[in-house]
């Protein structure tokens, strides 16, 4: 299974923020949308990612007050991206090795979507469930008297 297949199932809806946006308004948006990340955009291109990890670090660093903090102050600049042709196992390994829960998917300069670790887990579970059903059906319908290979 490739990243493009996970995106196809998940959808490519992108939630964005600007680097000049207040962190408080970005957090409010994340809570409202029930998402753990926002793509930070400037002039039509991705310039960073804001995840709950950066939000928590900013809250801790500023004594709980984020009134004067901007998204651009705390976002991950130029985040690691992944191509749509990457296999799911390679994607999982990359996410684990880099300790990332969210990875933008790009095709050249075009941003296609964001994959979360949860998206990957769901896709793998569904694929395994489908394969399991197919194998059970194959075994169940094995012709009698035919020797198994």
pLDDT in tens, 37-61: 999 999 989 999 999 999 999 999 9
Q: What is the 3-state secondary structure (H, E, C) of 112-131?
A: EEEEEHHHHHHHHHHHHHHH
pLDDT in tens, 111-122: 999 999 888 878
- Please list the residues that pair with 108 across neighbouring strands: none
Instruction: Give the pLDDT score at 123.
Output: 77
Is residue 148 a part of any domain in this protein? no
Is residue 36 a part of any domain in this protein? yes
Is residue 147 a part of any domain in this protein? no
Nearest to 3 by CA among 127, 106, 86: 86
Instruction: Give the pLDDT score at 66.
Output: 83
The mean per-residue pLDDT over the stretch 118-144 comes to 74
Is residue 80 a part of any domain in this protein? yes
What is the C-alpha separation between 89 and 79, in angstroms, rounded? 20
Give me the CATH number covering residue 80. Answer: 3.10.580.10
Is residue 135 a part of any domain in this protein? yes
pLDDT in tens, 61-89: 998 888 889 999 999 998 999 999 999 88
What is the C-alpha separation between 15 and 52, in angstroms, rounded? 14
Is residue 134 a part of any domain in this protein? yes
* Percent of the chain predicted with pLDDT > 90: 58
**Residue 125 confidence (pLDDT) above 80:** no
- Domains: count for the chain: 1
The mean per-residue pLDDT over the stretch 89-118 comes to 91
Helix, strand, coil abundance in the chain, percent, nearest 5: 45, 25, 30
Q: Domain range spanning residue 126? A: 3-140
Is residue 89 a part of any domain in this protein? yes
**Residue 33 confidence (pLDDT) above 80:** yes
- Please list the residues that pair with 2 across neighbouring strands: 87
């Amino acid at each position: 299974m490739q990243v493009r297949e996970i995106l196809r199932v998940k959808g490519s809806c992108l939630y964005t923020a600007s680097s000049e946006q207040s962190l408080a308004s970005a957090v409010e948006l994340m809570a409202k949308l029930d998402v753990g990340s926002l793509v930070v955009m400037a002039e039509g291109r991705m310039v960073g990612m804001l995840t709950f990890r950066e939000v928590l670090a900013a809250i801790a660093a500023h004594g709980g007050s984020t009134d004067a903090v901007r998204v651009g102050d705390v976002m991950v600049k130029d985040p690691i991206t992944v191509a749509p042709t990457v296999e799911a196992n390679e994607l999982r390994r990359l996410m684990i090795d880099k300790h990332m829960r969210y990875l933008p998917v790009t095709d050249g300069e075009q941003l296609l979507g964001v994959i979360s670790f949860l998206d990957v887990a769901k896709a793998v579970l569904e694929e395994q469930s489908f394969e399991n059903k197919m194998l059970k059906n194959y075994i169940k319908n094995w012709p009698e008297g035919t020797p198994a290979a």
